Amino acid sequence: MHKPDSHSVNLAAAFGFVLLAGVLVVLPHLLSFSQQEVLVLLVINVLLVCSYRLLTLTGEWSLAHAVIMGVGAYTSALVAKKLSVPVPLAMLAGASMAGFLAFLLSFPLFRMKGFYFLIASFAAGEVIRLSWKWSDLTFLFGGPKGIKRIPSFPDFLSIDFYEPVNYYYLCLIVVTISLLILYRVEKSRIGLTFHAIHWQDKLAESVGVNTFRYRTLAFVFSAFFAGLAGALYAHYVGAIAPNRFSVEEMVYILIWAIVGGTATFYGPIIGVVVLTIVNEIVLRSLGVEEMRPMFYGALLIIAILFLPDGLESLVPKIKRLFGKRDKESNGSLASPQIAE
């Protein structure tokens, strides 16, 4: 049996990355203005759903991730607007606040597991989100109307980041660096411990692993990058409101992750990219984009029934299919030589 050597595999992977990078650089110049804006939000959502996957590595699914994204957005917006802190530093402050809040929430939340953790995370998120609407705090958070006229990312070397294409490249750089960090964390000893806690938490505890500490670490890491996604969103859109981070938005994050799959690093990315394309091209061209919740619900049911491992499970099948064709092609070429 012929087995490809590591040099060929590395060469193919390098070629794939170069091709992907080329597509990502050229893509915004092939789109309309409104499609460029969608592309910016898509890149931000890629970071959001990948940060969510890091928490699921420990086996816990939260319903507070959209609100934690909102914490990053609100904090960054307030720090930049009220304290006149430069936007890049305000973004780091927003991400840090989201991580710190996750650290505080971990003490009550990780006393529970499974369904109880899910419901408790939803309740904690709603308390935070509703506090943004509280009339006594309207002077700070803007109440139901939220915060408007949020400072945009400052110009750099005459580059206007108010333009979608320029902001897309900025988001692409930030998200790429963030994904590399998340990937390295997953492949490190810490990431392997996350997996161990997911599958055998009692066994991990029996060999001295502090499962509470590692669950908290995963929660804080995922919240930091969710907060960073929120900060990128706030300084691009220029206005945020509590309803932007409601349970409906949380459901979309869940569907992206479940439909794409969470067994691999690229699964959630496939989910959010495919569903965004379907939403923005198929539903919008049909003029039924307001039916997105119903469509997403139906798609979730279909995915659970017929593709329980998500869209990521199709990737190895496609690889095997192409591998089989290559073998057949090589075999047909080799056969005459054998005959000779």
Are residues 300 and 253 in contact, defined by beta-carbon separation less than 8 angstroms? no
Higher-scoring residue by pLDDT: 63, 322: 63
In this structure, the chain runs to a length of 340
Residues 6+ away with beta carbon under 8 Å from 295: 278, 279, 283, 288
pLDDT digits (tens, 9 = 90+) for 166-183: 999 999 999 999 999 999
Are residues 58 and 215 in contact, defined by beta-carbon separation less than 8 angstroms? yes
As a whole number of angstroms, the distance between CA 336 and CA 340 comes to: 6
Q: Above 70 in pLDDT, residue 338? A: no
As a whole number of angstroms, the distance between CA 102 and CA 215 comes to: 11
Higher-scoring residue by pLDDT: 324, 34: 34
For residue 183, give the nearest of 247, 116, 125, 265 by alpha carbon: 265
Specify the long-range contacts of residues 303-306, CB closer than 8 Å, at least 24 apart. 303/258, 303/259, 304/258
Higher-scoring residue by pLDDT: 41, 318: 41
- Give the pLDDT mean for 291-308: 81
Q: Could you tell me the pLDDT band of residue 2, with boundaries at 50, 70 and 90?
A: low
* Global confidence as pTM: 0.87
Q: Which of 100-114, 128-142, 231-245 has the lowest mean pLDDT?
A: 128-142
